[in-house]
Amino acid sequence: GAGVSQSPRYKVAKRGRDVALRCDSISGHVTLYWYRQTLGQGSEVLTYSQSDAQRDKSGRPSGRFSAERPERSVSTLKIQRTEQGDSAVYLCASSFSDGGTGGYTFGSGTRLTVV
């Protein structure tokens, strides 16, 4: 595709439930990141994966957050036992490089509200 696509755009979850957020990255991009963006606090990386790794490397916070990469250009962020503090915008970004600093493309995000 032409860009990074995330779904759903909005998600409301009851506290304690598990949620799954999807990211379709750009074909050919090898590194995929999940960031959490909170108003006034910027964005923090949650997890990322490189190349064909199916399991992501956890960033912060760990434990309840994990990501699967069933296909090279698809990732699913899973949040277990959601808490109200998990309410935020979750951004997916992909990069054409395995390392290095160039070529990040972000999706439009999924806004998660935990009630």
Partner 1 sequence: QQQVKQSPQSLIVQKGGISIINCAYENTAFDYFPWYQQFPGKGPALLIAIRPDVSEKKEGRFTISFNKSAKQFSLHIMDSQPGDSATYFCAASIEETSGSRLTFGEGTQLTVNP
Site track for partner 1 across 11-50, x = CB under 8 A: --------------------x-x-x----xxxxxx--x-x
Residue 104 sits in the site that holds partner 1 (CB under 8 A): yes
User: What b-and-e string marks burial along 84-105, b requiring 16 or more CB atoms within 10 Å of the CB?
Assistant: eebbbbbbbbbbeeeeeeeeee
Residue 59 sits in the site that holds partner 1 (CB under 8 A): yes
1 vs 42, which CB is nearer to partner 1? 42
d(CA 94, CA 65): 18
Residue 68 sits in the site that holds partner 1 (CB under 8 A): no
Give, in degrees to the nearest 5, the angle at Cα 8 between 32 and 50.
Answer: 10
Residue 98 sits in the site that holds partner 1 (CB under 8 A): yes
Residues that bind partner 1 (CB under 8 A): 4, 31, 33, 35, 40-45, 48, 50, 57, 59, 91, 93, 98-101, 104, 106-109
